[in-house]
Amino acid sequence: MSASAISIKGLTKKYDGKFAVAGIDLEVAYGEIFAILGPNGAGKTTTVEILEGYRFRDSGEVIVLGDDPQALGDKTYTWRERIGIVLQSSADAGDLSVRETVHHFAKYYPNPKDPESVISLTGLAEKADDKIRNLSGGQRRRLDVALGIIGSPELLFLDEPTTGFDPEARRAFWELIKTLRDEGTTILLTTHYLDEAEALADRVAVIADGKIVEISPPETLGGRHLAQARISWVEGGKQHERFTSTPTSDVATIASRMGGEVPELQVIRPSLEDIYLQMIGQSK
């Protein structure tokens, strides 16, 4: 077994002479949730499709679960049994029920999870006998995940998994993803939601123009943990604001000067979205 679930070195892919992926290097550890962030056209989808074995690269090295997806040969079937894929959209048979669909897909794998357990895990127990065509968008997405994990994958690819979810459904889905990670599943996630990457990912890669801008944990991306904080407060009937690298000390000084509570106090560091937008803007 290789040291990483995914290993990429110098990956390139061109379309019509233009680089969609322009020399990417990254490693994803076993048991990690790894998120790829980037604007439309940045190269995210092409990269993931190469990792899934659905698209050939032009150059570079790619190893997924110990094998090159472009050179599997006789290993193709057994390799695909080890991965799960949840696409951005799917076209399941609408006349089948949730239970019928999950049980049917379980037959495709040599060591599937228990279908009833998967239905429960994905929050579909109350909808198990409903026809797929009658499910809401969020429930259809849960079914997509159920079909993606029914084969007990070692590696799960999630492409924009919570598109169309309401806030409550998104957070319930996040707990499901964390449960899968805790069970040992490696997860590669692409998402446009910055709060999703921050809530789920152990590390994130920002891609722009086919290149990696940075790879780091969300909390340190772009040096956000070192960025100056903005302190604002009301004192003497006026709004005050200060940028500082020592917010705790500064707030203590202000509180001491004011003799206790500080009206309308706010201490704000740059959000992941602030840093992300700055990073992709600088790459242009």
Query: What's the CATH code of the domain at 163?
Result: 3.40.50.300
Residue 68 lies in a domain: no
Start-to-end CA span in the chain (Å): 39
Q: Counting runs of H as helices and runs of E as strands, what totals does the chain give?
A: 9, 12
Residue 224 pLDDT: 77
| Residue 178 in this model has a pLDDT that exceeds 80 | yes
Confidence of residue 173 (pLDDT cuts 50, 70, 90): confident
- What pLDDT, on a 0 to 100 scale, did the predictor assign at position 283? 55
Q: Are residue 113 and residue 79 in the same domain, yes or no?
A: yes
Q: What is the pLDDT of residue 92?
A: 62
Specify which residues 28 forms β-bridges with. 6
Q: Are residues 167 and 80 in the same domain?
A: yes
For residue range 209-255, list pLDDT tens digits in order.
Answer: 999 999 999 988 887 777 788 899 999 999 999 999 889 999 999 99
Q: Are residues 98 and 207 in the same domain?
A: yes
| pLDDT tens for each residue of 9-59 | 999 999 998 999 999 999 999 999 999 998 888 899 899 999 999 999 999
User: Which residue stretches of the chain are H helix?
Assistant: 44-51, 76-80, 98-106, 115-121, 137-149, 167-182, 194-200, 247-258, 272-282
- The answer to whether residue 69 is domain-embedded is no
Q: Give per-residue burial for 78-98: e unless 16+ CB within 10 Å, then b.
A: ebbbbbbbbeeeeebeeeebb
Q: Is it the case that residue 105 has pLDDT exceeding 60?
A: yes
The amino acid present at 176, given as its one-letter code, is L
Task: Tell me the C-alpha distance between 223 and 270, whole Å.
Answer: 10
* Strand 211-216 versus strand 229-235 pairing type: unpaired
Angle between helices 98-106 and 137-149 (to 10 degrees): 20
Q: Tell me the whole-structure pTM to 2 decimals.
A: 0.81
Residue 193 pLDDT > 90, yes or no? Answer: no
pLDDT for position 88: 65
Range of lowest pLDDT (62-76, 103-117, 216-230): 216-230
Q: Which residues form the domain of 255?
A: 223-282
Considering the domain boundaries, does residue 15 fall inside one? no
Last residue of a domain, one of 181, 201, 218: 218
Structure tokens that stand for 276 in this block: 């992300």
As a whole number, mean pLDDT of residues 75-104 equals 85
Q: For residues 149 and 82, what is the distance between their CA atoms, to the nearest angstrom? A: 10
pLDDT at residue number 245: 86
Instruction: With H, G, I as helix, E, B as strand and everything else as coil, classify residue 246.
Output: coil
Domain count, the chain: 2
Rounded distance between C-alpha atoms, residue 12 and residue 57, angstroms: 6
Query: Which percentage of the chain shows pLDDT scores above 70?
Result: 96
Which of 170, 200, 218 terminates a domain? The answer is: 218
Instruction: Pick the last residue of a domain from 196, 218, 240.
Output: 218
**Is the pLDDT confidence value at 284 over 70?**
no
Residues 83 and 212 occupy one common structural domain:
yes
Mean predicted lDDT score pLDDT of the chain: 89
More confident residue, 231 or 275: 231
Token pair of 35, please? Answer: 């998120």
DSSP state of 131: B
Estimate the crossing angle of helix 167-182 against helix 137-149, to 10 degrees: 10
Q: Is residue 20 part of a domain?
A: no
